[in-house]
Amino acid sequence: MERRNSEITMWDAILNKFKKYPAQERVVRLLLERGFQVTPGGKVVSGGIRLAHTQIAREASVDRRAVDGAASMIVEDPLLKIVFTNIRPISSLREVAPDLKLGVIIITPVDAARTGILASVAVCVAERGISIMQAIAGDPRLAKRPTLTIITDRQIPDDLVGELLKCEGVRGVSVC
């Protein structure tokens, strides 16, 4: 199902809460992108590891007070609290895949909000008898240039790239 322009998504609802605070919005985008949680006490954590607000501020290119403000708002807002106390980071095999003799396919979509891109690429890969071990799609509402990264159980044959370029919604393909 295609998203209609009039539909408000969960991400829109979250980011709209920070519309008047661009520095805090940058912090929230970083927290979402990395899967960092905010504790009831307003501390940013990854799992059980506490992350210094100064480090987060540096990464988001904002003042530490923007991190403090975003964390305070998250703790006080019911929707934000649900999201940021339950979000979790995921590990990506993208950087280590070549060393492990795994394949990496990076898909650049025509429109990342379009449905079916992952499905069409997965079918193409599966038809070659290649197993997908991991698939990570960047959210088009959070990432500037969202991509679909697929890790496979083996290296990708060169001729598969041409087949993937024929998949609906695929603009570009790179393999590692």
Q: What is the pLDDT of residue 20?
A: 96
Structure tokens at 158: 């060169």
Q: Which of 86, 121, 143 is the last residue of a domain?
A: 86
Say yes or no: 171 and 102 in one domain: yes
For residue range 5-34, list pLDDT tens digits in order. Answer: 446 688 888 989 999 999 999 999 999 989
Q: Which of 60, 86, 112 marks a domain boundary? A: 86
**Quick one: pLDDT band at residue 1, thresholds 50, 70, 90?**
very low
- Tell me whether residue 119 is in a domain: yes
Torsion of CA 165, 166, 168, 173, to 10 degrees: -10
| Last residue of one domain, picked from the residues 32, 63, 86 | 86
**CATH code where residue 120 lies:** 3.30.70.260
Say whether both 115 and 61 belong to one domain.
no
Whether 157 maps to a domain, the answer reads yes
Give the per-residue SS3 of 42-103.
Answer: CCEEECCEECCHHHHHHHHCCCHHHHHHHHHHHHHCHHHHHHHHHCCCCCCCCCCCHHHCCE
Positive or negative, the Cα torsion across 36, 48, 71, 61?
negative
Domain count for the chain: 2
Whether residue 169 sits in one domain with residue 109? yes
Query: Quick one: 18 and 82 in the same domain?
Result: yes
Q: What is the largest CA-CA distance in the chain?
A: 53
Task: Give the side-chain half-sphere CA count within 13 A for 47.
Answer: 4
Q: Are residues 102 and 161 in the same domain?
A: yes
Please report whether residue 147 resides in a domain.
Answer: yes
In this prediction, residue 11 carries a pLDDT of 82
In tens, the pLDDT along 109-125 reads: 999 989 999 999 999 99
User: Would the pLDDT of 41 be above 60?
Assistant: yes
Q: What is the mean pLDDT of residues 36-52?
A: 96
Domain hosting residue 48, numbered range: 10-86
The confidence score (pLDDT) of residue 7 equals: 64
3-state DSSP assignment of residue 166: coil
Q: Are residues 46 and 75 part of one domain?
A: yes
48-103 pLDDT, tens digit each? 899 999 999 999 999 999 999 999 999 999 999 999 999 999 999 999 999 999 99
- pLDDT at position 135: 98
Q: How high is the pLDDT of residue 139?
A: 85
Q: Is residue 4 part of a domain?
A: no
- Residue range 131-151, pLDDT digits in tens: 999 999 998 887 889 999 999
| 3 pLDDT more than 60 | no
Residues 103 and 77 in one domain: no
Is 167 in the same domain as 106?
yes
